[in-house]
Amino acid sequence: MSDFKSVKVSHGSNGWGGPLVITPTDEKPYVLSVTLGGIHPVAQRIAELTGSEAHDQFKDPIDTDQACVVVIDCAGVARCGTYPKMGIKTLNIKPGSPSGPLASYITEDLFCSDVNPDCVVMADGSEVVAAAAPEPAQASDETTKENVHDKIREERAKNADAAQKGNGFMDLVTRIGTGVGRFISIIYQASRDTVQDVIRNILPFMGFVSVLIGIINYTGFGNILANILTPLAGSLPGMLAIGMFCSIPFLSPLICPGAIIASVLSVLVGDQIAAGTIPANFALPGFFAVNCQVGSDFAPVGMTLMEAKPETIEIGYPAFLFGKLITSPVQIIFAYAMSFGL
């Protein structure tokens, strides 16, 4: 049995979550680094202090079931919640709090953000012991739960016997009432989730775009970039050039996180279309051109979420990147053909 040590990881000054006590085991001996640029210093420091092994998940993917912790560099969309959903402790080197479609899985006992190497320290003995629950107490709890479950089963059996003797009309009314109540509950919960998603994601993005437009218009930076982009965005070859640039295999994973490049180009091209500098029929191909890199950073995480084998991820990720390089001009040309008459 390997002699692993425990470390305590806290969030940075602009972070959220934790602190997390991380203890590798023989079944989970790896610290996975799902970051661009190789193994991140945070993952390397955890591996050195605990006696485990840091592993680059992009370069040589392995089964995530062998990971005691995952280090990511997500801007706060999907990767932040992917690994917590799988029950794996996650350290994000970027600041942020729960957001995105998987925000409900991002909890303080599984997630910590704005982490740097200084946030990783050795855990003291009391914290390590506190992380392990004594077996006698568990056995006692299980015994208590079994007794409670026996009583619940007895009560349900009595209620079932009474229900069989009840009035058939009342049973029908009860079933209708239960069905309507369940339907209303589902709709209400969906409404709550929608409002939370709007508050956490859509409204901040609208604020970001508003500030971005104000800065660009005030500084005149928009006019400079517009003069550079107008010759490209105003013609089909120019759109193809933008799309090919955004889908270069070694570049697309770098410009994709946070969708910053796509947001800036969309605002600038849209502003030029509104001003009449670029014809309106270039709006659709322009949309595809500035988004050719979408998914380049999330592809390995998505395959992991779908429980793909490490060999599949190792081969599928480069294939995905080169596939986008091939399909990007095709989708731009198709969008251009569909824009005639606008």
Kindly name the residue from 68, 74, 80, 246 that is annotated as catalytic.
74
Find out whether 127 and 10 touch, Cβ atoms under 8 Å: no
From CA 103, how far away is CA 93, in angstroms rounded?
17
- 3-class SS at 40? coil
Name beta bridge partners: 70.
32, 90
Find out whether 72 and 35 touch, Cβ atoms under 8 Å: yes
How would DSSP label each residue in 243-274? HHHHT-TTTHHHH-GGGHHHHHHHHHHHHHHH
Residue 12 gets the label, from left (phi > 0), alpha (psi -120 to 50) or beta, of beta
Please work out, in degrees rounded to the nearest 5, the angle formed at the alpha carbon of residue 169 by the alpha carbons of 167 and 175: 105
Say whether 256 is catalytic. Answer: no
From CA 147, how far away is CA 136, in angstroms rounded?
17
List % helix, strand, coil for the chain (3-state, nearest 5): 60, 10, 30
Neighbours of 292 (CB within 10 A): 25
Which tokens go with 97?
Answer: 């709090």
* Residue at 98: amino acid letter: P
Exposed e or buried b per residue across 296-330, where buried means at least 16 C-beta atoms within 10 angstroms of its C-beta = bbbbbbbbbbeebebeebbebbeebbeebbeebbe
Q: Tell me the catalytic residues.
A: 74
